[in-house]
């Protein structure tokens, strides 16, 4: 490599600084605002650091604004969808990875086609059907919709991971008397753990941020997840920005934790699906 | 006897796929067909009588005085958004690739906007874009760019560009990460050979790097086009499609037809229109991916 010119170094410095500022400032500003009292938020010019640190916005969010309920609902939806998609997705991917059957290419093509389906095609028919069957504000119904949306990509990704496990290993296990399910549970799943992790993370992040379906199928505070809760309260007149920013901060805590501890898996989950083919 | 046992085992294979197939059939297959049915009925919450309507919903949706604006908005939001994401993302990835230090840092930090939920991103920027108390206006005024508050979200001439900017903040890092990942295994031999032959960077970029990147660019382009076209959360939380429908795109307006105007029939019809549009744009590409996979024996 040739020695980089001074101009290049200056450009490097500029780009790194600009990217940092552009990406981190909005997040910093949310944090900073959430720690200011209401009067200081409206002060002009704005204060970069809170002059008076207060926790009242968090207190309010946590004790009055139903945030703990929303938070718990979001966690439930994430866990429920994870369980359903990982179990059903692994079974399907295993079946397709290890056995030949009629209609397999067609099934794979249909899975791919579902990816272009706008979610707006689901809201009206499911709202009507859920209404008829008393399934609005029902946790299982929402988890089932989420699972259906996440399954196609999960199956495609898991299939790639399962295919990378050599078939000789499970043939050996078969000879030792393992059934198909045992092969999946004892051999393939442990070997495909990074894949399960990546798929699981991308499912979790998707469910956590989902808004349109959550808004449509949950209407009561008891069932609403965080994002639908935020969207509902930001639409009301006289938004309390301190509290809203505090709620925003609370809602990204799990994501920041995942960002800090699971970064490698996150990148795999994010780019894996697209790069794989 | 053996034959029937064999076919029983063959049936057993379907059992692996069955649970996933059932969930998708009930929650994706059935609604898409039912949506189609609803689109042919006069189906509003105001009028309890549900009657067959033929193509009336489609005609009403397509001749709605708002329709040209919704289509224009959707095209501007999608095309301008994706092109800007692509250009900035690729340029940034190529530059960062040439940096000696800080590559890992840039990759790490670029991940963040992509992880933050769209609703929270919208909340942050909506607050910063506030005309009176927003930080952006006070910065712009203090450095003398403007002498009065810009109505980023309340001025119908500006609002679309504001939401596109925020989507850029969210989605450009995805392009950056995809291109960066591809550049990890760029053809170093070819680049060195070209350099020895005296080729300058623009030549190498045009004849080596861009051809090498073109499959990734195509894949990422299709993905981000589908995502941007169907993206709802950001616009919904920032502007609800307003002011004066200036930020209403197809998904936003479809949602409003159903749950603000309570007209299920028209909403379903518009959803079918969106589905057809997206399909025309993307299905040829998906079939190409699929046949590539088949050729390589990946199926």
Task: For residue A267, list chain B residues with Cβ-Cβ distance below 8 A.
Answer: 107, 111, 177, 181
Closest A-chain CA to B257: A124
Best probe of the B interface among A118, A141, A170, A225, by most B CBs < 10 A, is A118
Residue B252 lies in a domain: yes
On whether the CB atoms of residues B101 and A9 are closer than 8 A, the answer is no
Same domain assignment for residues A83 and A205: yes
- Domain end residue (candidates: A18, A35, A54): A54
pLDDT at A222: 93
Which of B15, B37, B100 has the CB atom closest to A4's CB atom? B100
Are A8 and A66 part of one and the same domain?
no
- Interface subset of B 28-57, CB within 8 angstroms of A: 28, 30-32, 34-35, 37-38
The residue that leads in pLDDT, B110 or B284, is B110
- Count the domains in chain B: 1
- Residues of A within 8 A of B118 (CB-CB) are 209, 211
Domain count, chain A: 2
Angle between helices B250-259 and B67-75 (to 10 degrees): 140
**Cβ distance B235 to B253 under 8 Å?**
no
pTM of the model: 0.90
The pLDDT of residue A269: 64
Residue A266's pLDDT is 74
Contacting B residues, span 110-139, partner chain A, CB-CB under 8 Å: 110-121, 123-128, 130, 133, 135, 138
**Quick check: B139 pLDDT over 80?**
yes
Report chain B residues whose CB lies below 8 A from the CB of A170: none
Of residues B34, B133, B283, nearest to A42 (C-beta): B133
Cis amide leading into A274 (omega within 30): no
| Contacts for A159 with CB less than 8 Å, ≥ 6 apart | A93, A96, A97
pLDDT tens readout for residues B59-75? 998 999 999 999 999 99
Evaluate if residue B112 carries a pLDDT over 80: yes
Among the partner residues A16, A42, A241, nearest to B106 by beta-carbon distance: A16
Query: Is there a single domain that holds both residue A42 and residue A18?
Result: yes
| Residue B50 maps to a domain | no
Phi, psi of B51 (to 5 degrees): -125, 155
Query: Which residue of A21, A71, A125 is the best one to mutate when testing the B interface, meaning the one whose CB has the most B CBs within 10 A?
Result: A125
Residue B285 falls inside a structural domain: yes
CA dist list (Å): B134 to A26, A52, A233, B149, B160:
12, 19, 19, 9, 18
The residue in chain A having the minimum alpha-carbon distance to the alpha carbon of residue B181 is A271
Residue B85 domain flag = yes
Burial of A35 (0-12, 13-18, 19+ CB in 10 A): buried
Q: Tell me how far the alpha carbon of residue A260 is from its chain's centroid.
A: 16
State pLDDT tens for residues B14-65. Answer: 899 999 999 999 999 999 999 999 999 988 877 777 888 889 889 998 999 9
My answer on whether A126 and A258 are in the same domain is: yes
Q: Is B6 part of the contact surface with chain A (CB cutoff 8 Å)?
A: no
Q: What is the CATH number of the domain that holds B163?
A: 1.10.3720.10
State the smallest CA–CA distance between residue B22 and chain A in angstroms.
Answer: 9
Which residue range forms the structural domain that includes residue B204?
A: 66-295
The confidence score (pLDDT) of residue A272 equals: 54
CA B192/CA B198 separation, integer angstroms: 10
Contact B233 A275 (CB under 8 A): no
**Is residue B7 in a domain?**
no
* CB within 8 Å: A107 and B293: no
Question: In terms of domains, do A121 and A258 share one?
Answer: yes
Would you state the pLDDT for residue B11? 75
**Which residues of chain A, if any, have pLDDT below 70?**
1-4, 237, 268-277
Contact B290 A241 (CB under 8 A): no
Q: Are residues A149 and A241 in the same domain?
A: yes
* Rounded Cα gap, residues A136 and A134, in angstroms: 6
- Whole-number pLDDT of residue A277: 34
Residue numbers in B near A112 (CB within 8 A): 286, 289-290
How large is the ipTM?
A: 0.90
| Residue B5 resides in a domain | no
pLDDT at B1 over 50: no
Residue B71 lies in a domain: yes
Classify residue B48: in a domain, yes or no.
Answer: no
Pair A144, A222 in one domain: yes
- Decide if pLDDT at B2 tops 60: no
Query: Residues A225, A138, A60, CA angle at the centre, nearest 5°?
Result: 30
* Tens digits of residue pLDDT in B118-136: 999 999 999 999 888 889 9
Same domain, A48 and A138: no
| Residues in A touching B286 (Cβ below 8 Å) | 112-113, 115-116
Q: List chain B residues with CB under 8 Å of A145.
A: 27
First to last CA, chain A: 32
At B289, is the pLDDT very low, low, confident or very high (cuts 50, 70, 90)?
confident
Question: Nearest residue on chain A to B18, judged by CA atoms?
Answer: A92
CB of B219 less than 8 A from some CB of A: yes
Q: What pLDDT does A274 receive?
A: 47
Q: What is the pLDDT of residue A49?
A: 87
- Give the residue from A8, A3, A53 showing the smallest Cα distance to A32: A53
- Structural domain including A38 reads 1-54
């Amino acid at each position: 490599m040739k020695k980089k010119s001074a101009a290049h170094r200056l450009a490097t410095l500029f780009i790194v600084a600009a990217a940092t500022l552009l990406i981190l400032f909005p997040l910093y500003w949310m944090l900073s605002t959430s720690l200011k009292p209401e009067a200081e938020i409206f002060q002009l010019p704005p204060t970069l650091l809170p002059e008076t640190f207060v926790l009242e916005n968090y207190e309010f969010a946590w004790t009055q604004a139903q945030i703990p309920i929303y938070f718990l609902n979001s966690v439930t939806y994430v866990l429920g969808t994870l369980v359903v998609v990982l179990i059903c997705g692994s079974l399907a991917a295993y079946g397709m990875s290890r056995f030949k059957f009629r209609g397999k290419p067609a099934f794979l093509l249909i899975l791919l086609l579902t990816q272009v389906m706008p979610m707006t095609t689901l809201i009206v028919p499911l709202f009507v059907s859920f209404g008829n069957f008393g399934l609005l504000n029902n946790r299982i119904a929402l988890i089932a919709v989420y699972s259906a949306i996440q399954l196609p990509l999960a199956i495609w990704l898991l299939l790639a991971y399962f295919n990378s496990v050599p078939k000789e290993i499970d043939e050996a296990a078969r000879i030792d008397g393992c059934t198909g399910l045992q092969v999946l549970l004892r051999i393939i799943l442990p070997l495909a753990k990074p894949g399960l992790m990546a798929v699981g993370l991308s499912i979790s992040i998707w469910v956590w941020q989902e808004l349109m379906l959550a808004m449509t199928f949950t209407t009561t505070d008891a069932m609403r997840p965080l994002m639908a809760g935020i969207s509902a309260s930001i639409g009301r007149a006289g938004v309390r920005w301190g509290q809203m920013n505090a709620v925003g901060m609370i809602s990204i805590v799990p994501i920041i934790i995942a960002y800090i501890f699971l970064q490698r898996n996150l990148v795999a989950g994010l780019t894996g699906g697209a790069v794989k083919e | 006897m053996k034959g029937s046992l064999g076919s029983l085992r063959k049936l057993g294979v379907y059992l692996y796929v069955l649970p996933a197939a059932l969930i998708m059939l009930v929650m994706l297959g059935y609604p898409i067909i039912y949506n189609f049915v609803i689109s042919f009925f006069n189906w509003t919450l105001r009028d309890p009588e549900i009657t067959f309507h033929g193509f009336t919903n489609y005609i009403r949706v397509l001749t709605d005085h708002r329709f040209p604006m919704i289509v224009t908005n959707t095209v501007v939001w999608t095309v301008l958004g994706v092109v800007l994401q692509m250009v900035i993302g690729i340029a940034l990835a190529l530059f960062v690739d040439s940096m000696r230090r800080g590559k890992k840092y840039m990759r790490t930090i670029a991940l963040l906007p992509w992880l933050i939920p769209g609703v929270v991103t919208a909340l942050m920027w909506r607050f910063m874009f506030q005309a009176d108390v927003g930080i952006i206006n006070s910065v712009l005024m203090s450095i003398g760019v403007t002498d009065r508050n810009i109505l980023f979200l309340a001025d119908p001439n500006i609002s679309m560009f504001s939401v596109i900017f925020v989507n850029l903040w969210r989605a450009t890092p995805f392009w950056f990460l995809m291109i960066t990942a591809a550049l990890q295994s760029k053809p170093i031999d070819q680049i060195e050979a070209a350099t020895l032959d005296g080729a300058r960077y623009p030549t190498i970029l045009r004849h080596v790097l861009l051809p090498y990147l073109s499959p990734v660019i195509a894949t990422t382009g299709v993905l981000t086009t589908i995502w941007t076209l169907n993206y709802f959360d950001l616009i919904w939380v920032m502007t609800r499609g307003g002011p004066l429908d200036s930020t209403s795109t197809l998904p936003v307006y479809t949602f409003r037809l159903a749950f603000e105007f309570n007209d299920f029939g028209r909403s379903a019809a518009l959803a079918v229109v969106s589905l057809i549009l997206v399909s025309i744009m993307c299905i040829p590409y998906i079939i190409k991916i699929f046949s590539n996979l088949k050729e390589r024996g990946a199926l």
